[in-house]
């Protein structure tokens, strides 16, 4: 089984709808991250959490919210989806020092029409 899973893998929704993307990990890591990937722009950090009680905004948090339900679960919500939120979304997890390596999920392709 994959260490980091994301659901759904693909989603098409309409402008104004609320959407939740879910992420689960079995690596036992405290740290979890949500990224957005757009063509030619690499990965941009939306939100990150270093433990269950810690939530931090990344560089592009506007229009998004997150919930860290447990050490293993970190969900991303779009309260009112808009077309420019159409992108590929990745969840990642890391164990912290001494390694900064992040382990990524397979991604969720979201299309907002």
Partner 1 sequence: GESVGLHLPTLSVQEGDNSIINCAYSNSASDYFIWYKQESGKGPQFIIDIRSNMDKRQGQRVTVLLNKTVKHLSLQIAATQPGDSAVYFCAENAGGTSYGKLTFGQGTILTVHP
**Interacting residue ranges for partner 1, rule: CB under 8 A:** 4, 31, 33, 35, 40-45, 48, 50, 58, 90, 92, 94, 96-97, 99-107
Q: Of 1 and 40, which has the nearer Cβ to partner 1?
A: 40
2's CB contacts (< 8 A; 6+ apart) are 105, 106
Closest CA to 99 of 3, 37, 30, 53: 30
Provide the pairing of β-strand 102-104 with 87-94. Answer: antiparallel
Is the Cβ of residue 85 or residue 102 nearer to partner 1 in the bound state?
A: 102
Q: Closer to partner 1 at the Cβ: 50 or 73?
A: 50
Kindly state the smallest distance separating residue 48's Cβ from partner 1, in Å. Answer: 6
């Amino acid at each position: 089984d994959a260490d980091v899973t994301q659901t759904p893998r693909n989603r098409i929704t309409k402008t104004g709808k609320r959407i939740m993307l879910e992420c689960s990990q079995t690596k036992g890591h405290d740290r979890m991250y949500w990224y957005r990937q757009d063509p030619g722009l690499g990965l941009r950090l939306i939100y990150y959490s270093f433990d269950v009680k810690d939530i931090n905004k990344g560089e592009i948090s506007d229009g998004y919210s997150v919930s860290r339900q447990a050490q293993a679960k970190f969900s991303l919500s779009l309260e009112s989806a808009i077309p420019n939120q159409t992108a590929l979304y990745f969840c990642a997890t890391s164990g912290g020092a001494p390694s900064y390596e992040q382990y990524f999920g397979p991604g969720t392709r979201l299309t907002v029409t």
